A = this chain, B = another copy of it.
Amino acid sequence: MKKTVVFLSDHTGLTAEAMGMSLLSQFRDIDYDVIHKPFVDSREKVQQVVREINHIAAQTGEQPIIFSTLVDPEIRQPLKDCQCLVLDYFESYTHILEKELKAAADYRHGQVHSMANANAYRNRIHAVNFALTNDDGAITRSYPDADLILLGVSRSGKTPTCLYMGLQYGVLAANYPLTEDDLQTPQMPKALREYKDKLYGLTIDPMQLQRIRQERRSNGRYANLEQCRWEVDAAEKLYKRHQIPFINSTAMSIEEMAVKILADLGVKH
């Protein structure tokens, strides 16, 4: 059975998609055709979508499933004529919250993924630029401003994790690559000594590291398994010696790492 799944939103559809994906991931054996319908912000546009969906339902003989985050009950109205299952997030919860908060909802769309909160948005852009400027230890003079500094050997996953923390949370994340010089002495690298409370380490399975490095530059010592083993081992020793918290990036997604690091370091977001 192949189900048509529609993410319907008056704005970007990111929330509708997050909701839908987390529910659908609970049903492993079902195949989906996904249709994205962002920026559906008028009754007419909803009517058009309903026509499309009814057409699919008639053609396939299967009723599609809509995950909807249409905020305005007025705009939502035409969904009542749809040959489909509608899971409407705002319809389910807004009234419960209005009762609890003893306040009326605004029914304005696009509040989360827009620039509605201009300050928070500027912080996120600033944080992305911060992560880019402070990538790979190129510049250490902005470490006093950093919320955290991620350590790790080359290709252990520092850069995407820092970028994600900037984009998602507006957290100022710098990263510092542990070089062979750093790994050969028991001391903490000079540039990091003043920032002990901001440090967090990444480690990685040496075989995985070798694979990643080979994709990038296959020849020479850099992608040699022995070299990867030695670097990872020395990095972990350094973390333990200086009580730097660390996680293994081998089986963790960027999101998992970001959430864990921020929680462990107690960085507000």
Contact = CB atoms under 8 A, between A and B. Distances in A.
B38 A93 contact: no
Q: Chain A, interface size: which category?
A: 35 or more
Given A21-B112, A132-B159, A28 B256 contact: no
A14 B23 contact: no
A39 B260 contact: yes
Interface in A75-118: 85, 87, 89-90, 92-94, 96-97, 100-101, 103, 105-108, 110-116
Nearest to A132: B159
A185 B51 CA distance: 47
Nearest to A117: B25
Contacts of A13: 259
Given A125-B160, A159-B132, A254 B25 contact: no
Interface string A6-34: 00000111110011011111111110000
